[in-house]
Amino acid sequence: MVYAALEYRIRETLKKQAATFPSQQGRETVCPTARWVFQYFSGVHVLIISQMQAIALNLNKHHINLLKLFGVEYKELYAGPG
């Protein structure tokens, strides 16, 4: 149920914003599966420096765009404030 709710939110957000996300075949889509989005984020790592600063590594434009679409809270988790 949680998986289905997340997938619905991803797809609705992409449709409302007229945005796309790369599919597994490399084409742009407005209806990716939640499983694929999780897999797409699997290469992202967080580097913590002296317990004071956390930096997300390996973010690309698709990661950042999707995080921006979900709002400030999600973007700040990965990309930091601003």
Which pLDDT belongs to residue 64?
87
**How many whole angstroms separate alpha carbon 41 and alpha carbon 59?**
8
pLDDT, one tens digit per residue, over 15-31 is 999 999 999 998 999 99
Q: Is 50 helix (H, G, I), strand (E, B) or coil?
A: coil
Please name the residue that has the structure tokens 């949680």: 2
The model's pTM: 0.76
10 near 35, Cβ under 8 Å?
no
Residue 53 tokens, joined: 């600063």
Which of the four pLDDT bands, split at 50, 70 and 90, describes residue 81? Answer: low
Burial class (CB in 10 A: 0-12, 13-18, 19+), 33: middle
